Structure 1
Amino acid sequence: MTLEARLVVERTAFTLDIEVKVAPGEVVALLGPNGAGKTTALRALAGLIALTGGRILLDGAPVQTLPPDQRPIGMVFQDYLLFPHLSALDNVAFGPRCQGASRAESRRVAAELLERVGLADRAAARPRQLSGGQAQRVALARALAVRPRLLLLDEPLAALDAHTRLEIRSRLRRHLADFDGATVLVTHDPLEAMVLADRLIVIEDGAVVQQGTPAEVARRPRTGYVARLVGLNLHRGVADGARVMVGALPFSTSERLEGPVFVAFPPAAVALYRSRPDGSPRNLWEGRIEGIERHGDNVRVHLQGPVAAFADITPAALAELDLAPGQRVWASVKATETHAYPA
């Protein structure tokens, strides 16, 4: 591992206690709700917040006692924090100069990195003359100029508009693929994490609640927060073969398990009815509409009842069913679209 860290930061009303391991060339994204501890973890790795306990090893060497400027770390801040009085070239050259490189060598390294990020023609521009996407790439080049073993990215695309973010996300992924050190990314955007990261670490209330590849986390969420991120309904239950009791409601699933399990199903799999449907469809319950909102091209209905759930239906179905908040409806999910896995 390039990075092996246990980060313990104690505050009056909050304690962060997590382990972060990142292999050479790997990109790990820290995900979590506001206040979970993501930024605290990033700042602790950078040396901007002191550890209460734990340690930080980079290539096997402890760095937790070193000041920030002596750690082999490059950081891209959310607002980039470029020096406004320096050109793009001199912003990138600043780090090598601080490390003792000559002015000529520093500018040579900076010129190579600006070319690598596609900004050789903007070397003389000041930050105020750069677009948001260009400033982000200059900040990345500046972080890489110190030849870090650990690259820290704090919401690197948050300051960009939606159109620019799409383009820069693709570019950033290619640049990170060429970096042979460890990269830790903090983001609130699940799509950003899924596209940029090789592995996700989900933090809630200062602790790791789930980690794995983006596909693993998306397929088997383990908390309500993660389920919402990946667009699934999630409940705990107790399995007996293909039957799972979620509270007092029996669910049929496509897997056969025993004991405590999670049950997950997509909102698009939830069918709604104004009256109890004919026959005996499996996974059927009555609930009350808590709210209705636009969700992409569809409508998302929030249900409360023995099983709380989101249901995604078309605007035409909403009109046909004449649904409104406060109404009672019947909901069902096919067993083939209801998946269970060990809790």
Structure 2
Amino acid sequence: MSLTARLRLTRPAFRLDLDLEVAPGEVVALLGPNGAGKTTALRLLAGLTRLAEGHITLDGLPLHDQATEKRPIGMVFQDYLLFPHLSALDNVAFGLRCHGTGKADSRRQAAEWLARVGLTDHAGARPRQLSGGQSQRVALARALAIRPRLLLLDEPLAALDAHTRLEIRSQLRRHLADFDGATVLVTHDPLDAMVLADRLIVIEKGSVVQSGSPTEVARRPRTDYVARLVGLNLYRGIAANRQIKVDDVLFTVTESLEGPAFLAFAPSAVALYRTRPDGSPRNLWQARIDGVERHGDNVRIHLDGPILAAADITPAAVAELDLTPGQNVWASVKATETHVYPA
């Protein structure tokens, strides 16, 4: 592993307890709600916050006892922190100068990096003359120009509008693919994490609750937070053969499992009825509409009852069923639309 770290920090009402390994060329995303400890972990790695316990090792050498400015680290902050009085070229050259490179050579290398990120024509522009996407690329060029062994990205796309974010996310992915050091990305945006990272580490309240590839995490969420991120209804119950009991609702599923298990299904898999449907459909329960909101091209119905659930239906279906908050409805999910796995 290029980076191995054991990060321990205790503050009033909060404790960070995180073990981290990142291979050369690998991008690991720290994902979690606000206050989970993501940025604290990044600051510990960068040396901006003092490590109370543990260690940080990079390329086999201890990093935690080195001064911040001596660490072979490049960092892109959420608000980029470009020097407002310097041009784009001199912002990129600044890091090189700090590492002992001469002025002329620093500017030459900075120009090369601006060319790599497509900003040759903006070399003389100051930050106030740059768009958000251009500023992000200058910050990335500045971080990479010093040839770091560890790249830290703190919400690098958060300040961008939706259109610019799409473009810059694609460009950033290409630059990260060319970087042979370890990369740690902090984000609360699941799409950024899924597109940019090779592996996700989900943190809640200072501790790891789930880790794995983006596909693994999306396929098998293990907490309500992760389920919301990937857009699934998630429940914990007791499975027996091809059934799982969740509170007072018994679900029939297609997978055979025994013991504590998770049950997940997409909101789009939930069908709603104003009256109990004819026949004896499985996975049927009565619920009350707790909320109605627009969700992309569909409408999301929030259901209260023996279990909490979200259902995504079309605006036409909402009008046809005349659904409003407070109404009682029947909800059902086909067994083939469910997924169960060990808890």
CA distance in 1, matches of 2:131, 2:322: 47
Q: Deviations over 1:79-116 (max 9, x none)?
A: 10111111111111111111111111111211111111
Q: Post-superposition shift, 1:161?
A: 1.0
Specify the code of the residue in structure 2 equivalent to 1:108: R
List, as ranges, runs of 4+ consecutive aligned residues in structure 1 with deviation greater than 3 Å: none
CA distance in 2, matches of 1:269, 1:166: 28
- Counterpart in 1 of 2:109? 109
- Counterpart in 2 of 1:142? 142
Specify the code of the residue in structure 1 equivalent to 2:107: R
CA distance in 2, matches of 1:159, 1:304: 36
TM-score normalised to structure 2 length: 0.99
Q: Post-superposition shift, 1:21?
A: 0.9
Q: Deviations over 1:234-278 (max 9, x none)?
A: 000111111111112211112101111000000000001111111
Q: Post-superposition shift, 1:60?
A: 1.2
- Counterpart in 1 of 2:65? 65
CA distance in 2, matches of 1:242, 1:60: 49
Q: Does 1:30 align with 2:34?
A: no
Specify the code of the residue in structure 2 equivalent to 1:11: R
CA distance in 2, matches of 1:64, 1:123: 35
Question: How does 1:142-221 map onto structure 2 within 5 Å?
Answer: 142-221=142-221
SS at 2:288's partner residue?
strand
Q: Post-superposition shift, 1:125?
A: 1.2
- In structure 1, the gaps of 5 or more residues are none
Q: Does 1:5 align with 2:5?
A: yes
CA distance in 2, matches of 1:336, 1:307: 19
SS at 2:101's partner residue?
coil
CA distance in 2, matches of 1:202, 1:308: 23
- Counterpart in 1 of 2:118? 118
CA distance in 1, matches of 2:55, 2:234: 35
CA distance in 2, matches of 1:17, 1:240: 35
Specify the code of the residue in structure 1 equivalent to 2:36: A
C-alpha RMSD of the superposition: 0.8
Q: Post-superposition shift, 1:194?
A: 0.7
Specify the code of the residue in structure 2 equivalent to 1:44: L
Q: Deviations over 1:185-223 (max 9, x none)?
A: 111111111111111110000000001111110010000
Specify the code of the residue in structure 1 equivalent to 2:47: G
SS at 1:113's partner residue?
helix
Specify the code of the residue in structure 2 equivalent to 1:12: P
Specify the code of the residue in structure 1 equivalent to 2:229: L
TM-score normalised to structure 1 length: 0.99
Aligned residues: 343
CA distance in 2, matches of 1:59, 1:183: 13
Q: Does 1:227 align with 2:224?
A: no
Specify the code of the residue in structure 2 equivalent to 1:119: L
Q: Percent identity?
A: 76
Q: Post-superposition shift, 1:139?
A: 0.2
- Counterpart in 2 of 1:49? 49
Q: Does 1:338 align with 2:338?
A: yes
SS at 1:160's partner residue?
coil
CA distance in 2, matches of 1:329, 1:56: 54
